[in-house]
Amino acid sequence: MRYGFIGCGNMGGAVARAVCKGAGAENVLLANRTPAKAEVLAAQLGCAVGDNEKVAQTCHFIFLGVKPQVMPSMLAQIAPVLAGRKGAFVLVTMAAGLSMARIRELAGGNYPIIRIMPNTPAAVGAGMVQYCSLDVSDADLQEFLTAMAPAGLLDAIDEKLIDAASCVSGCGPAWAYQFIEALADGGVAAGLPRAKAQMYATQMLLGSARLVLESGQHPGALKDAVCSPGGSTIQGVRVLEERAFRGAVTDAVLAAYDKTREMGKG
């Protein structure tokens, strides 16, 4: 197997879906602490199921999809297997707060590493995935990027910035969903049926994000274009400013960043 996943939770599963599209499900092996979860996902994707040791022994790209607090014990478990391997392999970590140097230390060897910060929209091909690497060959990196392409947009970034990046695009979906839910609640309060309010809010956010990306305009300029003088939109903007909307969002990113850095000290 070329691609193995240790951990098939929300994030690991989202990335596995993308890799099955980019590299072929026949080249993907899944393992999970709860085997039934891996079996259900494998049945959906058409790939194989094994255990942590099998992934560590047989796969070229080994995706470490467990939570940061679980990473030390999991890597201690597979470290002897990795040490006994004869051929080359690449560790791919997606654990928030844990540097590539720390992953090497826990794995017990100076193995080539790719560190990624994906988000759950990768499951539908609309993800934002930052990545950096350490001692990975050009050929391996290119193969990895090709396999990951169906996940969405991939962007190379210095490792010193990856924690900050994860707090924008990795944590951001949760806040986007809160915003969609709040917009829909407002629509319901104004008389819309729930299903329509949710559809309108979701499509609005999707279209607005696309317009920022494709137009290249500053979000502030696009906001101003919607705010007619004396109109209803500017009154809503005024209320959001009074309630410190932008400050609250900025503080949410910084709170997530502080927590990410704290997890990396463990």
Does the pLDDT at position 264 exceed 80?
no
Query: Pairing relation of β-strands 61-64 and 3-6?
Result: parallel
Give the CA-trace dihedral at 40, 41, 42, 44, to 10 degrees. 90
CB 93 within 8 A of CB 129: no
Which residues of the chain are in CATH 3.40.50.720 domains?
A: 3-165
pLDDT value at position 266? 59
Query: What's the mean pLDDT in 214-219?
Result: 97
pTM: 0.91
**Segments in the chain forming alpha helices (H):** 10-23, 35-45, 52-58, 71-83, 100-107, 138-148, 159-165, 172-189, 194-215, 219-226, 232-242, 245-263
Query: What's the mean pLDDT in 124-146?
Result: 97
Q: Would you give the distance in Å from CA 4 to the centre of its chain?
A: 17
> Which residue(s) pair with 90 in the sheet?
61
Query: What's the mean pLDDT in 15-25?
Result: 96
Which residues of the chain are in CATH 1.10.3730.10 domains?
A: 172-263
Does the pLDDT at position 198 exceed 80?
yes
- CB burial class (10 A; 0-12, 13-18, 19+) of residue 95? buried
**Which residues, including other chains, have CB under 8 Å from residue 248's CB and lie 6 or more apart?**
none
CB 18 within 8 A of CB 38: no
- CB burial class (10 A; 0-12, 13-18, 19+) of residue 17? buried
CB 141 within 8 A of CB 167: no
Query: What is the token pair recorded at 17?
Result: 């879906």
Q: Phi-psi bin for 63: left (phi > 0), alpha (psi -120 to 50), beta?
A: beta
Fold of 172-263: ProC C-terminal domain-like fold (1.10.3730)
Percent of the chain with pLDDT over 90: 95
pLDDT value at position 265? 73
Measured in Å, how far apart are the chain's first and last C-alpha atoms?
32
Give the DSSP letter of residue 91: E
3-165: CATH homologous superfamily?
A: NAD(P)-binding Rossmann-like Domain (3.40.50.720)
Query: What is the token pair recorded at 158?
Result: 């210095």
Q: Please write the tens of the pLDDT for every residue from 68-105.
A: 999 999 999 999 999 999 989 999 999 999 999 999 99
Q: Where are the beta strands (DSSP E) in the chain?
A: 3-6, 28-31, 48-49, 61-64, 90-93, 113-117, 127-134, 152-156
